[in-house]
Amino acid sequence: MENQINKKEKQEKIVNMFDDIASTYDLANRVLSMGIDKQWRRKGCDKAYNILGLKEIEQITDVACGTGDLLLFWEEYAKKHNIDVKKFVGVDPSVGMLEVARKKVDFAQFLEGKAQELPVEDKTTEIISISYGIRNVVDRVEALGEFYRALKPNGIVVILEFTKQDRSGFIDKIVDFGMKNILPRVGGLISKNYEAYKYLPDSIEEFLTTEMLEKELESVGFKMKYTESFSMGISTLLIAQKSV
């Protein structure tokens, strides 16, 4: 019981943190990544559509959708591939993030909800995505099980995340220094919340390796279809498919 209470408190603290930085979140992302995060998101959407191979999609559900960035790329690449997507849904526990998303993305439905209690019915969505949010989910395996439940047979989950890396080379040490020292200062300056951007490198250090995340996906029934790391291993794309 005590462990569950601690998990709940930790999850609430993370959500409150994102509420606090919602208004400056997009600006901070663009500055800190120098815009390269857009390339990572585009690659994820492009590859996912190719793997799924459908020209008509009933629903795409973006979990921990934040300000709606990834939904913009889902729509952009649906048009590029001539794919008819009937419904776009964004889910996030942060009311502050959803307020920004609703102003920015006018073609999607937004729902307040947690990844581990997904407000989506069984077998109703072809794609579930979560970009840079799975490490913020305290009950992660429970959330992956929810994704499996909500996906249609042969549906796919698309994860973009900062997975933990073994940084031993010279360039790796430069990247590590930037993440731990420069990122919190710049992010804190933009958002006026230093602790929120100190949390980012700390949460990556405490998170799983790519291989461990792949095993967790497989443990709930997914079959891995694609894995790729970007920008010296800073970001990782994982795509897995529901078999039944």
CATH code where residue 115 lies: 3.40.50.150
Q: Residue 173 domain-assigned?
A: no
pLDDT > 60? residue 201: no
30 lies in which domain range? 2-163+208-242
At residue 11, the pLDDT reads 78
**Section 63-92 average pLDDT:** 96
Q: Residue 188 domain-assigned?
A: no
At residue 128, the pLDDT reads 98
At residue 2, the pLDDT reads 43
At residue 34, the pLDDT reads 57
pLDDT > 80? residue 154: yes
Q: Residue 135 domain-assigned?
A: yes
Rounded distance between C-alpha atoms, residue 183 and residue 188, angstroms: 8
Q: Residue 221 domain-assigned?
A: yes
**Section 139-157 average pLDDT:** 96
Reported as a single tens digit per residue, the pLDDT across 94-121 is 999 899 999 999 999 999 999 999 999 9
Q: Residue 120 domain-assigned?
A: yes
Q: Residue 41 domain-assigned?
A: yes
Phi, psi values for residue 157, rounded to 5°? -110, 135
**Section 40-52 average pLDDT:** 95
**Section 204-211 average pLDDT:** 70
Q: Residue 200 domain-assigned?
A: no
Q: Residue 168 domain-assigned?
A: no
At residue 235, the pLDDT reads 82
Rounded distance between C-alpha atoms, residue 178 and residue 169, angstroms: 14
**Section 216-240 average pLDDT:** 90
Q: Please tell me the total count of domains within the chain.
A: 1
Q: Is 208 exposed, middle or buried (0-12, 13-18, 19+ CB in 10 A)?
A: middle
